[in-house]
Amino acid sequence: MSSVEFSNKIFCAIDTTDLDFALQLASKLKGLIGGVKLGKEFFAAHGPAGVAQVSRTGHRIFLDIKFHDIPNTVAAAIRAVTDLGCFMLTVHASGGPSMIEAAVEARGKFATPKILAVTVLTSLNDNDLEAVGQCNPVRDQVIRLARIAKASGVDGIVSSPQEVSALREAMGSDVDLVVPGIRPNWASADDQKRIMTPLKAVRAGADYLVIGRPITRADDPAEAARLIADEMSAD
């Protein structure tokens, strides 16, 4: 697989309230990555209009809002953002089958946005789950939530790279695996607890990699994106 094919797997997480920074960064990364991820921080500051502005840079948009509410509310929210033309968006798998099914139904028969179910956040480990009363290893909880989500009709699963191999075995090839917590060897872990290098994550079965600070905080974000893609294709 060429470095271009690997670069298409990369979604850069642009987590900021600074619209100008987001637009400048998206422009710098045009043609070097597969798209950009916009999350709650950006959406809270700029809403649908901000998403539309970033979309006009030509990137596919992964809208990572992690909807989690009663089914009717989530369905209404999904319908409200579908017109933005996003490539992917997220709901929390822990919202349960009825909520997930409502989200998928609200999206309708269109191919996009892909509905992704978030399993266990990459900032959490076994101790964190136990503290909130989920007395199962992270891996078991991820698989459990992923099975519920797949049965409820999602297009993909979001998990840390540590669970990707087990998820691919459990889910088969008919769901996308979208993986945050990706850190090249030269990058710091920051607040992520379950991380992996880009190449190892792809080998384990990841379809899309969400990479933020190693790119966004680099002195040259474009060069950082190229370096990551080159490292993934060098094996």
- The answer to whether 45 touches 57, Cβ cutoff 8 Å, is no
Token readout for 11 is: 């979604």
Which element (helix H / strand E) includes 73? helix 71-82
36 vs 123: CA distance, rounded Å: 20
65 vs 91: CA distance, rounded Å: 7
Q: Name the active-site residue from 66, 114, 150, 193.
A: 66
79 vs 74: CA distance, rounded Å: 9
Which element (helix H / strand E) includes 126? helix 126-131
CA angle 205–208–211, rounded 5-degree value: 120
- The answer to whether 9 touches 202, Cβ cutoff 8 Å, is yes
176 vs 206: CA distance, rounded Å: 8
User: Active site includes 28?
Assistant: no
Active site residues: 66
